[in-house]
Amino acid sequence: MQSFVAAVVQLKSGSDKAANLAEASRLIGEAADAGAQLVALPEVFAWRGPQSAEPAEAETVPGPITEEMGALARRLGIHIVAGSILEAAAGGPLPFNTTTLLAPDGRLLGAYRKIHLFDIDLPGRVTIRESDLRAPGAQPVCVTTELGRIGLAICYDLRFPELFRALADRGAEIIVMPSAFTKPTGEAHWEPLLRARAIENQCFVLAPNQFGTNTQGFANYGNSLLVDPWGKVLARGADDRAEVLTAHLDGDLLARVRRELPCLEHRRLRP
């Protein structure tokens, strides 16, 4: 991979889609002005509202949101990972939770449908059953770009190392993971798991997160992170504000880590 500046955008998205898109676009522009060639948005960045309204908010990929993000990528001349949106499933009652990668010329380079759906019950804190609302994806997605090989994951996928290893097997050098990680689980596991995924797969990991109490009434953790292949945190967000975080991704560092500690080549157990 080449060396370049990457950015993640931290947001608190609500049920006003136009306002969410305007804020995301503003912060993407801020990241581009800071020199970022790859900018990533968090999970469900474009709309978070009542569950009863979700079917009406789902749209196709490509569709209006990806076209708007593609036009922005083209205007700014950058790659954009457009967080995630509700993707209408052809012939299915439930939408997918889908992230997309847009090229500097606006083309849709790849779309990943979240495989692992978040079902959790923490008594007195939070209950979420994503599988009641979403259809699961089935395929890992890793895309060749001029910056390097980019793998895609979403939020709860973080707890399943086999997906990240599958991305590494497909040549991933950078893994982007849009998230809306909850505060209780984030306080316990967000940083250690992100650093572990970066270390064990010798990849840069970019994790833009939502922050603040959302429309469903539970708190997201914020603390968006960019992590290098040695597990070093390059940049960290706050837990209480929208912001842009940038870091220099050093392609020479990636090559050196993989050369000096070639653990990906030393594997004995393979699928």
CATH of the domain at 255: 3.60.110.10
Asked if the structure places residue 266 within a domain, the reply is: no
Asked if the structure places residue 249 within a domain, the reply is: yes
Asked if the structure places residue 57 within a domain, the reply is: yes
Per-residue pLDDT of the chain (271 residues; tens, 9 = 90+): 999 999 999 999 999 999 999 999 999 999 999 999 999 999 999 999 888 888 889 999 999 999 999 999 999 999 999 999 999 988 788 999 999 999 999 999 999 999 999 887 767 766 777 888 899 999 999 999 999 999 999 999 999 999 999 999 999 999 999 999 999 899 999 999 999 999 999 999 999 999 999 877 789 999 999 999 999 999 999 999 999 999 999 999 999 999 999 999 999 988 7
Contacts of 76 (CB under 8 A, 6+ apart): 28, 29, 32, 104
Asked if the structure places residue 127 within a domain, the reply is: yes
43 is catalytic: yes
Among 114, 142, 173, 183, the active-site one is 114
Among 23, 43, 57, 87, the active-site one is 43
- Which domain, by its residues, includes 43? 4-260
Q: CA distances (Å), 37 to each of 79, 181, 187, 271, in order?
A: 6, 25, 30, 34
Asked if the structure places residue 98 within a domain, the reply is: yes
232 is catalytic: no
- Domains of the chain: total: 1
- pTM for the whole structure: 0.95
Asked if the structure places residue 267 within a domain, the reply is: no
Asked if the structure places residue 248 within a domain, the reply is: yes
Asked if the structure places residue 9 within a domain, the reply is: yes
- Report the distance separating Cα 186 and Cα 126, nearest Å: 13
114 is catalytic: yes
pLDDT given for residue 125 in this prediction: 67
Among 12, 23, 57, 155, the active-site one is 155
